């Protein structure tokens, strides 16, 4: 495993109280609009990054369309930076507000959710799992490191997939030399807007 990815996984083990605040919102029936409101805004992302002494120059923000599923809805936002890095946050919930079944929890906490996401987000067949951290905070999340290509460009990516209330979330930071601080910032900022 590359040294920078080892450093990134080590950073994920550090106390994350400076980047993570617990959500205070109660679990409720979600709509696409409510999930969109829960996503980090550009200003909130920049504040979460700055709280960890990270500054990025966001070149473009993309709103990710909701998935086409009769039971699920989703909301996602992607930020591309001027240096070619990618930051990403996504949330998924059941349309009827039901609690997540054990099968969905298992999918997230086994790492399958992150692996499926990486396989669909990066260039086809290029996402290689190079490391896993079982839990970053409290057993309701899991971190992964991937080497992949995006539009033909080699990337090192770290994801944190997690469950809060009846919402599944995923934070990602992909760059040429990932050390983990950015993905922890996205994760921490996003948790502050979610139910506990």
Give 147's strand partners.
128, 156
pLDDT given at position 195: 80
The C-alpha angle with vertex 184 and arms to 92 and 129, in degrees rounded to 5, equals: 75
- Residue 108 has which token pair? 């997230």
Residue 106, in any domain of the structure: yes
Residue 171, in any domain of the structure: yes
pLDDT band per the 50, 70, 90 thresholds, residue 161: very high
Give how far the C-alpha of residue 78 lies from the chain's centroid of Cα atoms, to the nearest Å: 10
Residue 50, in any domain of the structure: yes
pLDDT band per the 50, 70, 90 thresholds, residue 104: very high
Residue 107, in any domain of the structure: yes
CA pair distance 121, 151, nearest whole angstrom: 10
- Residues 34-89: tens digit of each pLDDT: 999 999 999 999 999 999 888 889 999 999 988 888 999 999 999 999 999 999 99
Number of structural domains the chain divides into? 1
pLDDT given at position 27: 54
Domain region containing 153? 3-191
Residue 196, in any domain of the structure: no
CB within 8 Å of 124: residues ≥ 6 apart? none
CATH classification of the domain holding 118:
3.40.1000
Percent of the chain, pLDDT > 90? 60
Residue of higher predicted confidence among 176 and 9: 176
pLDDT at 124 over 60: yes
- Residues 1-39: tens digit of each pLDDT: 444 443 444 343 333 333 333 333 345 788 888 999 999
């Amino acid at each position: 495993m590359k040294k920078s990815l080892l450093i990134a996984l080590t950073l994920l083990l550090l106390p994350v109280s400076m980047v993570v605040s617990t959500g205070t919102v109660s679990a409720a029936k979600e709509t696409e609009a409510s999930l969109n409101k829960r996503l980090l805004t550009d200003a909130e992302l920049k504040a979460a990054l700055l709280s960890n002494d990270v500054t990025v120059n966001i070149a473009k923000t993309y709103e990710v369309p909701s998935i086409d599923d009769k039971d699920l809805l989703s909301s996602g936002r992607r930020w591309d930076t001027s240096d070619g890095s990618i930051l990403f946050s996504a949330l998924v919930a059941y349309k009827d507000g039901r609690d997540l079944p054990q099968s969905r929890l298992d999918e997230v906490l086994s790492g399958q959710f992150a692996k499926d996401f990486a396989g669909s987000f990066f260039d086809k067949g290029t996402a290689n799992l190079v490391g896993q951290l079982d839990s970053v905070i409290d057993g309701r999340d899991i971190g992964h490191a991937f080497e992949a290509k995006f539009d033909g460009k080699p990337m090192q990516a770290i994801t944190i997939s997690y469950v809060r209330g009846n919402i599944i979330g995923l934070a990602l930071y992909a760059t040429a030399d990932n050390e983990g601080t950015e993905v922890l910032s996205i994760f921490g900022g996003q948790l502050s807007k979610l139910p506990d």
